[in-house]
Chain A
Amino acid sequence: MKTKKKTRRLSEQLIGQLLLFMTFLFILLLLVILRLLFDVEKTNQEEVIGNLMESNVQIMDRNLSGIISLAKNLQGVVNEGVYNEAEIQRHIHRLLLDNPILVSACLAYDEQNPPHCTTFSLVAQRMNAIKNTNDDFLYKDWFQIPRLTGRPYWSDPWYDKEGAKTIVCSYSVPLTRKGKVQGIIRVDLPLENLRRIIVNLRVKESGRAFLVSGNGMIMAHPTDSLAMNYTIFDLVNRYPDVQMRTLAKKVVAGEVGFERNRNLGMKGDVWLTFRPLPTNNWSLVAIVPHREVFVHLHYLSLILSLAVLFGFLVLSLMIWGRVQALNKPLTELVDGIKQAGEGDLSPAPPLETESYEIQVISENFEAMKSSLSAHIDNLQALTEERNRISSELEFASNVQRSLIPNGNSIKPGNLDVYGLLEPAGMVGGDLFDYFLIDEGHFLFAIADVVGKGVGAAMTMTMATTLLRSIAQHHKKPQEILSQLNAFFMGHKLESGYMTMALGIIDLASGVCVFSNAGHLPLYVLSQDGQIRKHERTHSTALGFFDNIKIESEELRLDAGDKILLVTDGVTEATNPNDHLFGTQGLEKTLAGLRGASVEKTAKAILETVLDFADPEKGRDDITILAIEYLGGLQKP
């Protein structure tokens, strides 16, 4: 079932559709802009953060390279083999005094028996040398790895309980005498030097950095418990994403990177940036929240969104205001139309509008209203007039009907008479009449006034009235017709022309004298079924010529003979094929009506004609008059 579509205000529709489209456009635009700016900002931030990382890498590397220089310095002195132990110790003392980054140094010999090592450090600026003959040092990373590989080695942080008594990162190089490796020279950098850099390093707002060894060991971290306990692989191992391990491997492989990561952040994505220290295989790693890296982009998108939101708001208000302004006269117009629909066509005050279209509609509507109002007034007058005419016509019809003999009309006993008049409109131009002019004579007449409508009806009415009046004085049909003709000629009426057949029957003898003034033939139907047609006219139609000579004809009626007269409404009835009913049609009908009563004969003819006629084509008044002579009157 079709439901009625919900109607919405014009302003809502406009704002809704416009905003929907604008929002879509804006989001699309924002995404494109942000995407483009993201790439620009990423490159920019990669450089900015990279520079910060690089400067810290350089600071740390200065410590490391400083230690390496000192180790080389000591290696040169010791390995040269020209200095005795006391001289070497003095040199180490000087090194310790002059280089605060050096907290301790160690000379470890495994080729001497027993293996021994001596650790040097400062205690209140004085040299503190601890000699250890316990061979445990042989199995420490700082000793064993460079000893086995023959290469310098940076150790993971470890607690030096003999020398520095703090956590140190050691740099070890082979100790040689006369070209033969005798042991290891170790110099120690306090981890605190590096840790301080790490702890104080802030990348953006809250990004934190940490230091990772070549084996992934976390050497320094703002969260101390992670340092020297976790490797970077321990940290990423908690995430099922295998990509995390790949990322960690990139870090320990000494790559430089700036990569987005979805796992590591507590709240949202982070950026992982890493770069190696040039001196060894350690790497500085920092984790920075995505929102801090792209803070400017966030602000930009926020500002852009707010600006567009404000723009939308203003636009909405403008549309709303404009539509309201447009809508006001429109609403008034609609109200006016509604009132007009309810019948109030009184003129409205002119609309105040800036819209040309609405102005035109309004003016035309007012004009239409005024025109409609005038039309309605006119129509009302016409209707009243029509009603008046109609009621007058009704009255005329009634008068006319009363003039035609009805069932109660006085009829002689030896005649059976039946007449019918079927007017085409309310009033007709046909007439039939019959009456006794004296005790022995019966007059009958049928007439057809030329024309239709009221004029013809008036003529017919006059003729009827006149007929009765004239018949009192003139007992011959030709005389009566002459009198009627004289009257019509004398008064020159508009519809003053008629055909008429008029006869007077001598009731005793059955002799009928009749005159036909331009009317259709008179038929006499014998009881034996014979149809006699008296088609000779005795004058022209009445009202055309003055002093016309009217003749008459006499015929004898036998008992059972019927006289039949019709008007041209019968013979000129037209069927859909434009064929006339004609006198043939009438005669054919009459042939089938042998022995029928006058009433039946008249009604049968009417029925046959109405069946024959095409109702679409309209018809003329139909009048049929049938008179049966039942025989001479018996004298009482």
Chain B
Amino acid sequence: MKKTLSLLFAMLLILAACQRQDKPKSANKYKAPKNVATDTEGLFKMRYRLKWLDQAQFAGAYVALEKGFYLQRGLDVEILEGGPDYPQYGSLLDSSADVVGLHLLIGMNYFNSPRPVVNIGQVLQKSSTLLIGKKSTGIANLKDLAGKKVGVWRGQSYVRYFLDEQHLGIRSIPIDWSVNLLLNDAIDMMNATSYNEYHRIMMSGLDEDELVVFPLAEHGFNVVEDGLYVLKDYYKKHPQECKDFSEATMEGWLYAFEHPEEALQIVISRMRENHRPTNPGHQLWMLQHMEELILGNGEPGKLKKSDLDFANRILMESGELKKPIPYEEFCPL
């Protein structure tokens, strides 16, 4: 794995070097400067609104910032927390952010809006989503969910596409991120990610053999998840910067996987700066699980046409899409 990572890293650097030969600024871009962001004059300012609150789910971006991968490409990047108080698409519309993190299906929904978004990078190349519940509820397979209370993230949750598609007859309970509903038996199952809630549930005293888990990918719903999105207009104005941003972010991820301890420290520091409670054990779990999701499906950072086609089919079947979204338009890079 290490060998593959090194190879990919080298390839990315060579690619970047070839494409940016005309820019004198990039002369020493291979030397990662330690003290960066002191002189931002003349750099291109970009604000990146995360999909959620600070955590290792976004380690690549923190590492790219800390190690100067953005700066090397002439970008002055500011990373902004996401979460319920800061809707990602809303941030693009009100110009409080230039780049946002979105799930593919959510991003596709916004593609057909009056102010469409485009994908400039695909971070998660696999589905991390699970349905998880206690074995004590008697649920053994998906069919047992009929009439059961299933906690589904409120808002534009992509999980509802899966649940609708399966025609399970569940009672959907909109929830926030808390796992306490499941732990206190207020609901029978909840959606979760393998890198976050699953671990939190285990760390609340439930053992693996006490849990029933349905990974969506194993039930015909392997939709790739987090991607980097900008407004189409923005992309048209700044295509190179968008490309640079995406590449630098992925370079950050590759560095993080090669240097997990350093990456973990960067994540923890970032969380502390933003006064988020830090739990290194949980963040390490998250970082370790991101690796498979990011590197486990071909070329990192790039949305594959087949993955978009699969998502097109789901959205068309759900009736939310009349015709498939063309790959070249959705993914212009």
Contact = CB atoms under 8 A, between A and B. Distances in A.
Interface of A: 136, 139-141, 144-145, 148-149, 153, 156, 215-217, 225, 228-234, 237-238, 245, 248-249, 252
Contacts of A228: 277
A145 B203 contact: no
Contacts of B279: 229-230, 234
Nearest to A281: B184
Interface in B257-293: 277-279, 281-282
12 contacts: A139-B175, A145-B180, A145-B181, A149-B185, A153-B184, A215-B183, A215-B184, A229-B277, A229-B278, A233-B203, A234-B282, A237-B203
A141 B277 CA distance: 19
Given A153-B184, A216-B205, A233-B202, A148 B281 contact: no
Contacts of A230: 279
B277 A225 contact: yes
10 closest A-B pairs by beta carbon, nearest first, are A229-B277, A148-B186, A139-B176, A215-B204, A233-B203, A145-B186, A216-B205, A215-B183, A141-B180, A231-B203
B204 A141 contact: no
Interface residues of B, number: 25
A604 to B, nearest CB: 117
Contacts of B205: 215-216, 231-233, 248-249, 252
A231 B174 CA distance: 25
Nearest to A139: B176
Given A136-B84, A229-B278, A148 B149 contact: yes
Interface of B: 84, 149, 154, 173-176, 178, 180-181, 183-187, 202-205, 207, 277-279, 281-282
A141 B190 CA distance: 14
A461 B184 CA distance: 145
B204 A217 contact: yes
Contacts of B185: 149
A216 B179 CA distance: 12
A144 B181 contact: yes
B182 to A, nearest CB: 10
Nearest to A138: B174
A231 B180 contact: no
A55 B205 CA distance: 27
B187 A139 contact: no
Nearest to A212: B205
Contacts of B186: 144-145, 148-149
B204 A231 contact: yes
A367 to B, nearest CB: 92
Contact of B174 (A139, A156, A252): A139
Most A-side CB within 10 Å, residue of B149, B204, B281, B282: B204
A234 B183 CA distance: 16
Contacts of B84: 136
A195 B89 CA distance: 41
Nearest to B176: A139
A401 to B, nearest CB: 119
Nearest to B201: A215
A73 B203 CA distance: 36
Nearest to B200: A231
A233 B199 CA distance: 11
A216 B84 CA distance: 26
B184 A149 contact: yes
A144 B186 CA distance: 8
Contacts of A215: 180, 183-184, 204-205
A230 B84 CA distance: 22
A322 to B, nearest CB: 67
B333 to A, nearest CB: 36
B85 to A, nearest CB: 9
A233 B207 CA distance: 11
Contacts of A145: 180-181, 184, 186
A234 B283 CA distance: 11
B319 to A, nearest CB: 27
Contacts of B174: 139
Nearest to A148: B186
B187 A234 contact: no
Contact of A141 (B178, B202, B203): B178
